[in-house]
Amino acid sequence: MFNLKLSSGYEMPFIGLGTWQLEGKKCREIVAKAIEIGYKHIDTAEIYDNQKEIGKAIKGKREKLFITSKVWFEHLHYQDVLEACEQTLKELKTDYLDLYLIHWPNRSVAIEETIKAMKKLLDDGLIRNIGVSNFTINHLKDALKTKVKIVANQVEFHPYLYQEKLLEFCRKNGIAVIAYSPLGRGNILKDDVLVRIARKHNKTAAQVCLRWLYQKGIAAIPKSSSVERLKENIDIFDFSLDQKDVKEIDGLNRNIRFVNPVFSDFDY
């Protein structure tokens, strides 16, 4: 598995396992299976209600894994962040997180207060990297004013939502982009262009989406509840999209979001 070097010096596997909507026994089985077939990066969040199951699945294998979790947007006051992290560590049965993200921006809490708590967790060794999620360029500018290193921004990113300006801003500021819903939640995989390019390389449309991200230096966390598709989604390192393919896929952008809850703040 190929790694992306974070600005902190830590390495994060390019492909991780998304676990939103994987719950209970199924979640435990899929995470265990994913680790068996080579996934080393697992993405969860306190809100997914699956951390205890993931804790069971990673037992005895923690050291070789990169685990990301996220603090919910209603828990961004100083003490709440510390408590949320403590609860997450307890559920995952681990001493530390590789990456801890502010799940959604919430401008009713000063970003300085939240970041101060994240820094405390970092200094105490409970988390190895601080990141954010669903942050726009303006949210990032506010966060960067604190001078605390933000290593990643996890955002929706796929051929129908090619966030070029955000990507450029992140690159310039040493912030890795992690693509969530990298397959457009499964909704874009019948696209004619993706299917044609996939055929040309003897791959699938899902693999083309993930390879397109990889070639842009973007990590991705596809979710699957099928072992076959789990295998498919990490099997993207043996082919290459040529410039023409990349240009065509870039041109598919429609600024479509498949994840846009009422509390999102994308207009900021």
Provide the minimum distance between the beta carbon of 69 and ligand NAP in the complex, in angstroms, as a whole number.
Answer: 10
**259 interacts with ligand NAP by CB under 6 A:** yes
Q: Which residue out of 48, 100, 162, 214 is catalytically annotated?
A: 48
CB 158 within 8 A of CB 127: no
Query: Which residue in 179, 174, 136 sits closest to 154, CA to CA?
Result: 179
Which amino acid, residue 64? K
Closer residue to ligand NAP (CB): 94 or 207:
207
Estimate to the nearest angstrom the gap between the alpha carbon of 141 and the chain centroid. Answer: 20
Closer residue to ligand NAP (CB): 123 or 227:
227
Stretch that binds ligand NAP, among 84-92, 141-149, 229-237, 244-252 (CB under 6 A): 229-237
**233 interacts with ligand NAP by CB under 6 A:** yes
Write out the two tokens for 40: 């080393």
Site string for ligand NAP, 142-161 (x = CB under 6 A): ------------x-------
**240 interacts with ligand NAP by CB under 6 A:** no
- Measured CA to CA, the distance from residue 207 to residue 224 in angstroms comes to 13
Crossing angle (nearest 10°) for helices 78-92 and 111-123 = 40
**174 interacts with ligand NAP by CB under 6 A:** no
Residue list 186-215, contact with ligand NAP (CB under 6 A): 186, 189, 204, 206
Closer residue to ligand NAP (CB): 110 or 259:
259
**134 interacts with ligand NAP by CB under 6 A:** yes
162 catalytically annotated: no
Residue list 70-109, contact with ligand NAP (CB under 6 A): 103
Interface residue with ligand NAP among 12, 14, 18, 191 (CB under 6 A) is: 18
Active site residues: 48
Positions in the binding site for ligand NAP (CB under 6 A): 18-20, 43, 103, 133-134, 154, 180-186, 189, 204, 206, 221-226, 229, 232-233, 259
